[in-house]
Amino acid sequence: MFTTIRRKIFIILLFFSCLNILIVCLSVYYNFEKNKIYILNNKINDIFNSFLHDNENISDYLIYDRTNIKYYESGESKFAMQHDSTINSIKAQISEIKQLESYKKIGNQQEINHIENYIDSITITFDSISDCIFKRGFNDFGAEGQMRNYIHKIENMPEADMIAILTLRRHEKDYIIRNEEKYILKLKKVALNYISEIEMNNTLNSRIKDTLIFNLTNYIYYFDKIVNLDKLTGYKDNTGLIAQLQNYQTTTLELFQIHKNLINNESEKKYNLFKIMFFSVTCFIILFSIIFSIIISDKITYRIKILSNAINQFIESKFTINQKVEFKQSNDEIDNLLKNYNILSSEIVKQITYFEEIVDSRTSEIKHQNQNIIASINYAKNIQEAILPNNSIISKHFTDLFVFYSPKAIVSGDFYWFKHFEKKNISVIAVADCTGHGVPGALMSMLGIAFLNDIVTKKSIRSSGQVLDALREQITSNLKKTSNGRTISDGIDISLVVFYHNTDILQFSGANREIYLSRNLVSTSIKGDHMPIGKHINSDKNFTTNEIQLFNNDQIYMFTDGYSDQFGSETNKKFLRKNFKLLINSISNLSMKEQNEIIANKFKIWKKDKEQTDDVLVIGIKYKQHLNLIEIGNENENYELIED
């Protein structure tokens, strides 16, 4: 009896390894037998396909080479050579199959010998047909060439009766085309009558008579030879040698198919029998392994189950009920586990009791601190809301506008800022997105608002781009490094517009932001610069000032990226800028109040129960054109933002 679990498991694994090796050996033998059957079937199919290919070669020979002048010139036919090559290959393949052990077990030697005999008969018959066709000839070759040669000699003699000659040629052509017996008789009758006329013609000398009769006699001889060769081959009416060849081919194909089916059926029977044996043995081994595994595992894991149940009860009681487990005083691993569990569970209960006492004392303290923090953030929210411009102040200069402002947390990293200069009738509006949200973003927004107030009231600024240049200078100079020397890379993305009410001119500059201008129900995007208010590779580059001539009822939309970056509850995808622009374009014909309601409802429906991704800020303004234009001095004086 083994004293440790490790040794028991090792013996079990060794036993199962032996079973797996046995299954692998059976599988290899099974595949080996299967492969032999597969090879035999493939060889039978190859022979069958080769025979079909040989039939095509014979057919091509009869169709093409019979009237191929090059064949008669050279005496060689590629189809006949392919036939010889294919027949030799078939015979070699049959000899190879007859030597296979797998064929000897299931094949029929008598039938395969019968097939070989028919193949020999096909070869002999085809050779006879090709010999007849070559002797018959075509055009100027063979018997047809000789026949044409003698009739041409007669045609070239001035003493020849051309009517009789033309009649002969017509009957000759009719026979070749139609292959009817009556044209043979007509030709011979005309030829014999013409010979009689020549013999009875006293105007011709004996030498001319002999020449005409000699040529006509040879013409008839070769015509008869053509007729006899055509009848022997049977090409035109599928009789004679060709019919015999087709009969051999058909019979051989039938024998091939029968033999092929027999081999396939016998192979399938043998394969199925072996497959049943293989799977039966495999299933028996697997079933035995499962039963053996269950028995062994129950013996080995019985005490582990006791330990597992004790642990589950301990966990379900939330580590409060410590139920001791019994164990034998032995040295195996499981008894050591049971013993150690009793010790460990006791220590866990003690530690949990101790920590619960500490947690109870700390919970009230943390709760009090949390309440103080929330109160401080809420107070910071009131301060932030107080610093943000009142909509009623903006409405004095823009009678039709909306502000959709939805912070992610209690305080926001998005802010908007407004300043109006009465003397020059200029309004400045900024919409900004500070790095982060919540408390960090709110701190940056406070700095941004303070710096903007300082810039437009104390510095001589003449354009929106100069405002952003000055703001970037303030941010980078005041946020250099922390107390530990780490560089701060926080910044602001901002869009800033300046309305010159007297001239209906709009200036726009953007740091990683853009604005939309909606005119005549068409929304156009006006891009800012691709750099933030903060540290950047292009920090030495000035911000661009874009100037736009405004018309009555033009609508300007300023926004942060919170709306387009919001993930949808159903799609789990962002709303995206293109959809935000389509939304703005679709509602630009409505009043600003209606637009605000639609934008807010659309955001609510899109977000649903999804957590808000970022702070959201959208401002829309419908511009009313200045009607009482005043005379303006020089350009520099007109565009300076600071009050004199």
CATH code at 90?
1.20.120
Is residue 62 very low, low, confident or very high in pLDDT (cuts 50, 70, 90)? confident
Q: What is the pLDDT of residue 4?
A: 61
Cβ atoms < 10 Å from Cβ of 516: 19
User: Taking the model in full, what pTM does it have?
Assistant: 0.46
Same structural domain, 552 and 601: yes
Cβ atoms < 10 Å from Cβ of 521: 10
Least confident of 8-12, 288-292, 293-297, 540-544: 8-12
Domain ends where: 333, 348, 383? 383
Same structural domain, 326 and 376: yes
36: pLDDT strictly greater than 50: yes
639: pLDDT strictly greater than 90: no
Q: What is the pLDDT of residue 1?
A: 41
Mean pLDDT to the nearest integer, 372-393: 76
Instruction: Give the residue, 471 or 33, on which the prediction is more confident.
Output: 471
Q: How far is CA 631 from CA 27, 424, 428, in A?
A: 102, 12, 22
Mean pLDDT of the chain: 83
Q: What is the pLDDT of residue 627?
A: 52
The CATH number of whichever domain residue 151 belongs to comes to 1.20.1440.210
Q: What DSSP letter does each residue of 161-210 carry, written as one string? A: -HHHHHHHHHHHHHHHHH--HHHHHHHHHHHHHHHHHHHH-TTS-HHHHH
415 is a domain residue: yes
**Three-class SS of residue 416?**
strand
Domain ends where: 383, 407, 425? 383
330: pLDDT strictly greater than 70: no
Which residues sit opposite 558 in a β-bridge?
Answer: 515, 619
Q: What is the pLDDT of residue 628?
A: 44
Q: How far is CA 378 from CA 197, 382, 442, 582, in A?
A: 141, 6, 12, 36
Nearest Cα neighbor of 168 from 232, 235, 215 is 215
Percent of the chain with pLDDT strictly greater than 90: 31
Same structural domain, 522 and 415: yes
Instruction: Give the residue, 377 or 108, on which the prediction is more confident.
Output: 377
Same structural domain, 162 and 76: no
Same structural domain, 37 and 77: yes
Task: Read off the tokens for 604.
Answer: 């609510």
pLDDT tens profile 234-291: 866 777 888 888 898 888 888 878 877 777 777 677 767 777 877 787 888 888 778 8
Query: What is the domain extent for residue 368?
Result: 320-383
Task: Tell the residue number behind the tokens 């150690």, with chain if given.
Answer: 340
Domain ends where: 207, 234, 261? 234
Mean pLDDT to the nearest integer, 447-454: 90
Q: What is the pLDDT of residue 632?
A: 37
Listed in order, strand segments (DSSP E) in 341-475 are 400-406, 414-421, 426-434
Instruction: Give the residue, 200 or 556, on which the prediction is more confident.
Output: 556
Structural domain tally of the chain?
4
